[in-house]
Chain A
Amino acid sequence: MKKQKLVMIGNGMAGCRTLEELLKLAPDMYDITVFGAEPHPNYNRILLSPVLAGEMTLQDIVLNDLDWYAANGITLHAGRKVTKIDRVKRKVIAADGTEAEYDRLLLATGSMPFILPVPGKDLPGVIAYRDIADTEAMIEAAKHHSHAVVVGAGLLGLEAANGLRLRGMDVTVVHLGDWIMERQLDKPAADLLMKSLEAKGLKFALGKQTAELVKGESGRVAAVKFKDGGSIPADLVVMAVGIRPNVELAEKSGIHCERGIVVNDTLQTYDPKVYAVGECAAHRGTAYGLVAPLFEQAKVCANHLAHFGIGRYQGSVTSTKLKVTGIDVFSAGNFMGGEGTDEVVLNDPAGGVYKKLVLQGNQLIGAVLYGDTADGAWYFQLLKDKQCVKDIRDHLMFGQNHVGDVGHAGQSKAAAMPDEAEVCGCNGVCKGTIVKAIKEHGLFTIDDVRKHTKASSSCGSCTGLVEQILASTVGGAYQPAESKDKPVCGCTERSHGEVRAAIREHKLLTIPAVMEFMEWKTPNGCASCRPALNYYLISTWPHEAKDDPQSRFINERAHANIQKDGTYSVVPRMWGGLTTPAELRVIAEVAEKYEVPTVKMTGGARIDLLGIAKEKLPLVWADLGAAGLVSGHAYGKSIRTVKTCVGAEHCRFGTQRSMDMGVKLEKMLFGMWSPHKVKLAVSGCPRNCAEAGIKDVGVIGVDSGYELYVAGNGGIKTEVAEFLCKVKNDEDVMEVSGAFLQLYREEGFYLERTCHYVARVGLDHVKKRVVEDAENRKALYERLLFALQDYEDPWQAAVRKPAVRREYEIIEVTA
């Protein structure tokens, strides 16, 4: 098939991101031609401010160098401005006569700075702040002149003023409004910001309207005159009063424009062959001026250009961060509040900290932070996800650490961390390495940072910290992923929720069927999505969907835990933590016979035999099985252990027979696969020696029955289990615990522990289905028992079946 022709007008961040996304999806689909009015390859416009401030150089901010265009076969016409689109003949014509035909056209013309229509606006020394040329003009002016006036105290204006001040100019910021950055900040935050900018040497003239720019003797601008009569000297005037989507070309070509070029949810204009992304586009009446939404648009647009056609852009919530070194400001959403909203405010003017959170019902809808913005990313995530904050409302203001991240308490101020401070404790990655990778490779997402540095790619407990570093390094370009609708992995655009629903509603029974139905982009997935799909299939359609060993992580495939040297560990099950002399004797014999180098008690009260070669596993299992020992599933996303205290059987304080209860629970749950590992504990009295407060299901015996707790976690981030309900007897413990675990099995996303699952759906949701609705509880319980019936010990299955056993054997090739 002949390649189609794609022409892009505008060589900026939104457009180039679209091309990058497109090349990932369909590298050979189009012959691509790019026209850019500026004589540069694509650079990071957001970082012009650090360049002006002298903190970075122009070379540092190039995102796609000329080699990138060449390597991807893209024809680049840099410095050539397109002046005409002939939609009938489907071609574009540049000012110098260069022409290019298109099958699809992508408009990414960005925006134009708004220039106040006042006398003198065209004088030398009057500029906007938009591109490299403007930045260079400012740097040049700072060398020869001393008085600068910045008109407009928005984000851009303040960054320009700060940069000019750092370059030695005397800078006054003129602003029409009563406080600075009024589109991003409320007055108290703005006042604090102004105070610290004044301390840096900036001057402000608020409530002033510019009437005229006065020409000096040299012909250059010399002063700014205000409507109220006053005036101030100015050798350089920077207009930063706003931007307008650049729609001139589109309008001239008869494409429907309002505030911007009007696009639908697939970023197509009224001419379906013509797309528009970025600042020039108006989607549902909004033209975005920050980079994060543009990247979301780019993704959807690329998706559509590649004929995938499943992505939709539905608008963005934006956040703002000011890039002035040493000053931390963050704002997002509806920060002014109003009717029907509540405000939580922390105001410490002397300490230079101001925080305001705006809530509506049980949702966070806006935030302004000044002085301490460490939790900005977290608030933004809560806001975007529309998460219910009812349960954390009383300490929401104190930030994420206060909600219980024990792993990194006191280490939340990413910006203040020294470069050599270790961020990722699993992979030994320090802050400097992360910042360097972000700058050198132009990274914008947490996934990119993971790929390049390995930071936060193992246990994930430092994810928040890495996000903060990313946010403070790239500023407004940082957009946290939507945690709810996040795609399963790079193989698909579908989220876990969508995949689960499709498997259930369309009765999909195999991984290939799911991949075909949901339009997977890769032939057989990857190591992230296949285990998830396999779990969703066998948990949704037990006894019907077939388990696929090749889609399980090695531990679940080999029914043992792989260790760093490639050997395995074997943990026989000890129901409720109980064992017998006979079992111990067999374990001891096996340990000697197979020369097991390490024998250890696990955290779940059983014995671990470490250092067994894979080919020996079936032999070890055969010996253990002869004494009735079965797999402890210490390797699985499955039921692990039920830890017990000795309880009323022996303990003088015991109120319930906890060992007995624990054994019954563990026998019931044997062979239960789940989104992540599941651990239970049963204590015989409120002294709670079995530590039931940090288990997925914790049972605590009391004189009148049992208290049930769920969604605790003792791992990466300690979570105290929440009280679910109180029950009278052993049968009720089995039914309620079983129903809760089945609900988790049916609704949980793969690799989501119960604590994350309950945090996502809310404890009320769980209580409604498991505690209040008796009929539903029984149905859940029965579905669990049905799924678990006839489960065979996987160790004995491997011992018995030659075909399975063979996979443990090594093939020897000799001469």
Chain B
Amino acid sequence: MNDRTEWKKVCELEDIPRLGSRVVKSAAGMIAVFRTAEDEVFALHDKCPHRGGPLSQGMVHGKTVTCPMHGMKLGLDTGEAVAPDKGCAKAFEVKVDGGCVMLLLKAGA
């Protein structure tokens, strides 16, 4: 079994609008990469735990995204639904390096 991970370049930070997102297709599935007003980036599995809505199409505010389907709110850092809702979208590690957005994914995948 190969558990090695590596940072993979996704796009330039400027390719993601502030308070917006881009969709990344990877071996780990569809990943939504978000950019906040403060230029922080976060990445979540692009599937709402409620009814599978694409979180990438939601609205970003603070460190939260509101799912476009039925309005469930999820924390961008953990993927956890904001109370009283329950549920979690898998969070991926992501960073900005020299203006490049990098995702931590399984190596060789």
A residues with CB within 8 A of B = 441, 451-452, 454, 457-458, 522-527, 530-531, 549-551, 553-554, 557-558, 562, 564, 566, 614, 806-807, 810-813, 815
CB distance from A553 to the nearest CB of B (A): 7
Q: Which residue of B lies closest to A548 (CB)?
A: B19
Contacts of A523 in B (CB 8 A): 37, 61-62
A813 and B25 in contact (CB under 8 A), knowing A457-B71, A523-B37? yes
> Is the pair B17, A549 in contact by a Cβ cutoff of 8 Å?
yes
6 A/B residue pairs, CB under 8 Å, sorted by A: A549-B17, A558-B57, A562-B54, A566-B53, A813-B8, A813-B10
User: What residues of B have a CB within 8 angstroms of the CB of A454 in the complex?
Assistant: 70
B18 lies within 8 A of chain A by Cβ: yes
The residues of B that contact A457 with a CB separation of less than 8 Å are 71
Given A527-B61, A550-B59, A566-B53, verify A810-B71 contact (CB < 8 Å): no
Which chain A residues border B27 with CB–CB below 8 Å? 815
Interface contacts beyond A526-B59, A550-B59, A811-B24: sample of 8 additional A-B pairs, CB < 8 Å, sorted by A:
A451-B85, A526-B64, A527-B73, A806-B15, A810-B25, A812-B26, A813-B105, A815-B107
Decide: B62 and A554 in contact? CB cutoff 8 A. no
| C-alpha gap A525/B61 in the complex (Å) | 6
* Distance between Cα atoms of A558 and B54 in the complex (Å): 13
Which residues of chain B from 24 to 77 have any CB-CB distance to chain A below 8 Å in the complex? 24-27, 37, 51-54, 57-62, 64, 66, 68-71, 73
Partner of B59, one of A441, A452, A553: A553
Taking a contact as CB atoms under 8 Å apart, the answer to whether B22 and A811 are in contact is yes
Interface string of B73-93 (1 = CB under 8 A from A): 100000000001100000000
Q: Which 3 A-B pairs have the closest CB atoms?
A: A527-B66, A550-B19, A554-B57
CB distance from B41 to the nearest CB of A (A): 13
**B105 neighbours in A (Cβ, 8 Å):** 813
Chain B residues with CB under 8 Å of chain A are 8-11, 15, 17-20, 22-27, 37, 51-54, 57-62, 64, 66, 68-71, 73, 84-85, 103, 105, 107-109
Query: A524 to B57, Cβ gap below 8 A?
Result: no
Q: Which residue of B lies closest to A552 (CB)?
A: B59
Tell which of A441, A554, A558, A564 has the most Cβ of chain B within 10 Å: A554
Q: Kindly state the separation between the CA atoms of A457 and B68 in the bound complex, as whole angstroms.
A: 14
* Chain B residues, Cβ within 8 Å of A564: 51, 69
Set of chain A residues within 8 Å of B9, measured between Cβ atoms:
813
Q: Using Cβ atoms and an 8 Å threshold, which residues of chain A touch B107? A: 815
| Interchain CA distance A526-B52 in the complex, whole Å | 21
Given A451-B84, A813-B10, A815-B108: A524 in contact with B25 (beta carbons within 8 A): no
Residues of B within 8 A of A558 (CB): 57
Known: A527-B61, A562-B57, A810-B23. A554 touches B68 (CB 8 A): yes
Q: For the complex, what is the distance from the CA of A549 to the CA of B19, rounded to whole Å?
A: 10
- CB distance A550 to B25 under 8 Å? no
Docked-complex contact B17 and A522, CB < 8 angstroms:
no
- CB-nearest residue of chain A relative to B36? A524
Provide the bound-state CA to CA distance between A525 and B37, in Å. 11
A527 touches B57 (CB 8 A): no
What is the minimal beta-carbon distance from A578 to any residue of chain B, in angstroms? Answer: 33
CB nearest to B106 among chain A residues: A815
> Contacts of B70 on A, CB cut-off 8 Å?
454, 458
B24 contacts A810, CB within 8 Å? yes
Q: Which residue of A lies closest to B59 (CB)?
A: A527
**Measured CA separation A566–B37 after assembly (Å):** 25
Q: Is the CB of B108 within 8 A of A526?
A: no
Shortest distance from the beta carbon of A500 to any chain B beta carbon, whole Å: 21
Structural contact, A524 and B71, CB atoms closer than 8 A: no
Q: Is the CB of B68 within 8 A of A562?
A: yes
Contact, CB under 8 Å: A526 / B66: yes
The total of interchain contacts (Cβ-Cβ below 8 angstroms) comes to 88
Given contacts A451-B84, A452-B84, contact A811 B11 (CB under 8 A): yes
Per the bound structure, the CA–CA distance linking A813 and B9 in Å amounts to 8
Q: B residues within 8 A CB of A551? A: 19, 59
Give bound CA distance, A557 to B21, whole Å: 12
Tell me which residues across on chain B come within 8 A of A527, comparing CB atoms. Answer: 58-59, 61, 66, 71, 73
For the complex, what is the distance from the CA of A709 to the CA of B47, rounded to whole Å? 45
The residue in chain A whose Cβ has the minimal distance to the Cβ of B15 is A806
Q: Which of A452, A527, A557, A812 has the most CB of B within 10 A?
A: A527
CB distance from B37 to the nearest CB of A (A): 5
Partner of B60, one of A452, A550, A815: A550
Residues of A within 8 A of B109 (CB): 815
Q: How far does the Cβ of A622 sit from chain B's closest Cβ, in whole Å?
A: 21
Least CB distance from A72 to B in Å reads 15
Task: Check A550 against B24 for contact (C-beta < 8 Å).
Answer: no
Closest chain-A Cβ to B96's Cβ sits at a distance in Å of: 15
Minimum CB distance partner of A512 in chain B? B37
For the complex formed, measure the closest distance between the CB of A454 and the CB atoms of chain B, giving whole angstroms: 8
**Interchain CA distance A717-B52 in the complex, whole Å:** 30
CA of A806 to CA of B22, assembled, Å: 9
Q: Is the CB of A811 within 8 A of B10?
A: yes
Expressed in whole angstroms, the Cα–Cα distance for A447 and B52 within the complex equals 24
Contacts of B53 in A (CB 8 A): 566
B15: chain A residues at CB < 8 Å are: 806, 811
- The answer to whether A811 and B25 touch across the interface, beta carbons within 8 angstroms, is yes
Given contacts A526-B66, A813-B103, contact A807 B71 (CB under 8 A): no
A750 CA / B68 CA spacing, docked (Å): 18
Q: Which residues of A contact B24 (CB under 8 A)?
A: 810-813
What residues of chain A lie closer than 8 Å to B26, measured between beta carbons? 812-813
A452 to B84 alpha-carbon distance, docked (Å): 6
In the complex, what residue of chain B is closest to A453 when comparing beta carbons? Answer: B84
B33 to chain A, nearest CB (A): 8
Name the residue on B nearest A563 (C-beta).
B69
A810 to B11, CA, bound (A): 11
Shortest distance between the CB of B92 and any CB in chain A (Å) = 11
Q: How far is the CA of A549 from the CA of B60 in the complex (A)?
A: 12
List the A side residues contacting B73 at CB < 8 Å: 527
Give the residue name and chain of the A residue nearest to B18 (CB): A550
Residues of A within 8 A of B10 (CB): 811, 813
Residue among A457, A551, A815 with max Cβ neighbours from chain B (10 Å)? A815
Complex interface: chain A residues within 8 A of B37 (CB) = 523-524
Most chain A beta-carbon contacts within 10 A, residue among B23, B66, B107: B23
Task: Give every chain B residue within 8 A of A807 (Cβ-Cβ).
Answer: 17, 20, 22
Q: Is there an interface contact between B68 and A811, defined as CB atoms closer than 8 Å?
A: no
How far apart sit A806 and B17, CA to CA, in the bound complex (Å)?
11
Chain B, Cβ-Cβ closest to A441: B84
In the complex, A566→B107 CA distance in Å? Answer: 29
Q: Distance (Å) between the CB of B85 and the closest chain A CB?
A: 8
The one of A451, A549, A554 that contacts B58, using a Cβ cutoff of 8 Å:
A554
Residues of A within 8 A of B25 (CB): 810-813
| Chain A nearest CB, measured from B80 CB (Å) | 16
Contacts of B59 in A (CB 8 A): 526-527, 530-531, 550-551, 553-554
Report the separation of the CA atoms of residues A299 and B107 in the bound assembly, to the nearest whole angstrom: 53
B108 closest partner in A (C-beta): A815
Q: Which residue of B lies closest to A550 (CB)?
A: B19
Residues of A within 8 A of B84 (CB): 441, 451-452
CA distance A813 to B26 in the complex (A): 5
Q: With A and B bound together, what is the CA distance between A557 and B56 in angstroms?
A: 12
B19-A524 in contact (CB<8A): yes
Chain A residue at smallest Cβ distance from B17: A550
Measured CB to CB, the nearest residue on chain A to B30 is A810
Kindly state the separation between the CA atoms of A759 and B109 in the bound complex, as whole angstroms: 59
Do the beta carbons of A522 and B68 come within 8 Å of each other? no
Cα A380 to Cα B21 with chains together (Å): 45
A815 vs B64: C-alpha distance in the bound complex, in angstroms? 30
- How far apart are the CA atoms of A558 and B21 in the complex, in Å? 13
Contacts of A806 in B (CB 8 A): 15
Q: Which residues of A contact B18 (CB under 8 A)?
A: 550
Minimum CB–CB distance from A434 to chain B (whole Å) comes to 14
- For residue B51, which residues in chain A have a CB less than 8 angstroms away from its CB? 564
Contacts of B58 in A (CB 8 A): 527, 554
